[in-house]
Amino acid sequence: MTTVTIDALRPELDGDLLLPDDDGWEEASRPWNASVQQRPVAVVRARTVADVVATVRFAARAGVPVTVQPRGHGATKAIDGCILVRTGELDELSVDVEARTARIGAGVPWGRVLAALDGTGLVAPSGSNPSVTAVPYLLGGGLSWLSRAFGTGASVLRAADVVDATGEVRRVDAGTDPDLLWALRGGGGDFAVVTAVEIDLPEAPELYGGRLVLPGELTAAAFRTFVEVTRTAPEAFTTWVTAMTFPPAPQLPEEIRGRSFVFVDAVHLGSPEEAEALLAPFRALGPVLRETVRPLQPSDLGTISEEPEEPPVGITSVNTASSLTHVDEAFVDTVLARVGAGAPLGYAQIRHLGGALRRGRVEDGAGLRVEPEYSFWAMGMAPSPAHVQAAEDAAAELRDAVAPWSTTGSTLTFHREGAPLTDVFPAEAVRRLQEVKRRVDPDGVLRSNHPVLGG
Q: How confident is the model at residue 351 (pLDDT cuts 50, 70, 90)?
A: very high
pLDDT at 422: 94
Position 2 confidence tier, pLDDT thresholds 50, 70, 90 = low
CB 173 within 8 A of CB 148: no
Q: In this predicted structure, what is the pLDDT of residue 37? A: 80
> Which residue from 208, 235, 205, 207 is spatially nearest to 97, judged by alpha carbons?
205
What per-residue confidence (pLDDT) applies to 384? 77
Question: Mean pLDDT, to the nearest integer, of 222-239?
Answer: 98
Helix/strand/coil for 222: helix
Indicate whether 34 pLDDT > 90: no
If pLDDT is split at 50, 70 and 90, which confidence band does 45 have? very high
pLDDT of 261 above 60: yes
User: In 164-248, where do the E strands start and end?
Assistant: 169-172, 193-200, 208-215, 237-245
Q: What is the DSSP string of 269-312?
A: SS-HHHHHHHHHHHHTTS---EE--EE--GGGGGTTT---SSPP
Q: How far apart are CA 37 and CA 243, in angstroms?
A: 28
Range in 33-42, 97-106, 372-381 with the lowest mean pLDDT: 33-42
The predicted model gives 338-362 an average pLDDT of 95
Average pLDDT across the chain, whole number? 93
Extract long-range pairs of 341-344: CB within 8 Å, 24+ residues apart. 341/216, 341/245, 341/260, 343/245, 343/394, 344/318, 344/380, 344/382, 344/387, 344/390, 344/391, 344/393, 344/394
Nearest CA to 136 among 73, 179, 45, 49? Answer: 73
Percent of the chain with pLDDT over 90: 82
**Average pLDDT for 439-451:** 95
In the predicted structure, residue 455 carries a pLDDT above the cut 60:
no
The conformation of residue 15, written as its DSSP 8-state character, comes to: S
